[in-house]
Amino acid sequence: MSTALNSAVSGLDSYQEQMDIIGNNIANLNTVGFKSATGNLANAFSDTLQAATAAAGNDNATNAMQIGTGVFTGSITNDWSQGGINTTNNPSNLYINGSGFFMVQNPTTGAQYATQDGTFTLNASGYLVQSTTGMEVVGLNGTAAGPIQINTTGMPSTSNPTSTMTSFTINAQGVITVNLSDGTSFVRGQVMLQNFTDPQALVSVGSNLYTNMGSAGGLTAPIAAGSGSLVNTTIVSGALELSNVDLASQMADLIVAQRAFEANSKIVTTSDEMLQTVVNMKR
């Protein structure tokens, strides 16, 4: 009876964790670039009542007899499939069509993070930054690697030196072209992407940012969309990636988790009644 009670309690704990995961997925239904998670259950260690033995002489083989001791959350995996596209017509908003992550860094500490949230904007200094965190987008600033600043620095000598920036564009390879007031234009830099062989190893730190990039098999340095392992990837300017949460699937999983939780609570109740019967036998 105590084993049944402990197994049921482990079920309650595990399905509460399932509910927590599903709740977080649904809460982030409209979070840009969010990737849904799935909790994978595994059975706990089993008590062995009888070991298995091989046949010997006139003795037949015996099968093992085991009683399980419950369940636990064996792993939580993220679904890295691509979310839908939402057109914003804001040239600083970027959508990765394919694999890859943007790289951003803390302007104060220099700590770098991976993200698929392309809600970028220009700050007061002209740096391309993440709107929600102020993290600077890392790529080619001119021809040097570092935070990307979009301004008139590096304009061609043939341009009017008093020209101002009127607009900028970012093409499918992330190349940033600045358009000047005198009608000329020039390449200011490039948004670069990082790719990972094992994105499941990435660790979320909130605000759509991920760390642990070394363990995830990141490249030595970010590369351009359309090259190397990102040969089939392009960057779409003026768009954002939607969350990949499937609401219908999450609601179905919610019902299953709720019913499983209720079933385990019934085991707890039944075990309690049986223990109460044992306690009252002497009366």
**CA separation for the pair 37, 79 (Å, rounded):** 6
**pLDDT reading at 150 higher than 60:** yes
Residue with token string 């040969």: 231
More confident residue, 279 or 74: 74
pLDDT of residue 96: 98
pLDDT of residue 280: 85
pLDDT of residue 283: 64
**pLDDT reading at 146 higher than 70:** yes
**pLDDT reading at 54 higher than 90:** no
10-19, 49-58, 248-257: least confident range: 49-58
pLDDT tens figures, 24-50? 999 999 999 999 999 999 998 888 888
Residue with token string 């943007």: 102
What are residue 237's DSSP bridge partners?
A: 94
**CA separation for the pair 186, 15 (Å, rounded):** 57
The pair phi, psi for residue 227, each rounded to 5°, is -130, 160
pLDDT of residue 233: 97
Other CB atoms within 10 Å distance of the CB of residue 163: 16
**CA separation for the pair 139, 135 (Å, rounded):** 13
pLDDT of residue 3: 84
**pLDDT reading at 57 higher than 80:** no
pLDDT tens figures, 100-134? 999 999 999 999 999 999 999 999 999 999 999 99
pLDDT of residue 1: 55
pLDDT of residue 282: 67
pLDDT tens figures, 186-244? 999 999 999 999 999 999 999 999 999 999 999 889 999 999 999 999 999 999 999 99
Kindly report the pTM of this predicted structure: 0.88
**CA separation for the pair 163, 184 (Å, rounded):** 9
CA torsion sign for 163, 165, 167, 170 is: positive
As a whole number, the mean pLDDT across the chain is 94
**CA separation for the pair 215, 201 (Å, rounded):** 6
